[in-house]
Amino acid sequence: MVAEMNLKVREHLMGRTGPVTAGLAVFGAAIFLLSQVSLAAGEGYNFTGLWNNQRGSTLEVVPEGNRIIGTFTTAVVKTKTCIGYGAPVIGFTNDNALSISMTLEGCGSPVTIGQTGILMTGEDGKEKIKTQALVQYNGTENWNSQILVADYYQRVK
């Protein structure tokens, strides 16, 4: 299943062209190169599992070494058909840091998302992933085509 999802993500990205896809490809390449600095890192950190953020969205993470694949299911989005849609996620870890990318194109949204974050222990003693995301809308560049978002994910299981 992991290999099938990875193949679908690759096929999806390889079949796309344009400025948003080009930007995503550059972002992904940069993340890959940065992650190669320490391939053995992350052995003490466990991102595996289901995580829930304060908005009710979920992130299911399946690491493969320092690579991450998984599913992001949104609970809040402008394109209502995307609520509950499981978007394929691909990314990398480096110790307690992670980076992930996804698109909501499969449910009719013009959004591509890049997130970075750190695995940490919150003040309540529970594991959390603190993230910052750049939400990029495709189309023309205007005042609201890029949105920065901060989220806290808490481990569900």
% residues pLDDT > 90 (the chain): 62
Domains present along the chain, CATH in parentheses: 2-155 (2.40.128.30)
User: pLDDT digit string (tens) for 77-95?
Assistant: 889 999 999 999 999 999 9
pLDDT of residue 157: 84
Q: What is the largest CA-CA distance in the chain?
A: 45
Pairing of strands 58-64, 127-137: unpaired
High-pLDDT (> 70) share of the chain, %: 73
Digit-coded pLDDT (tens) for 10-63: 454 445 445 554 455 444 544 443 443 333 344 479 999 999 999 999 999 999
Q: Which letter does DSSP use for residue 13 in this model?
A: H
Higher pLDDT, 43 or 103: 103
pLDDT at 11: 53
Contacts (Cβ under 8 Å, ≥6 apart) of 132:
115, 116, 117, 148, 149, 150
Q: Work out the mean pLDDT of the chain and round it to a whole number.
A: 81
- What lies within 8 Å, CB to CB, of 129 at 6+ separation is 47, 51, 59, 98, 117, 118, 119, 120, 152, 153
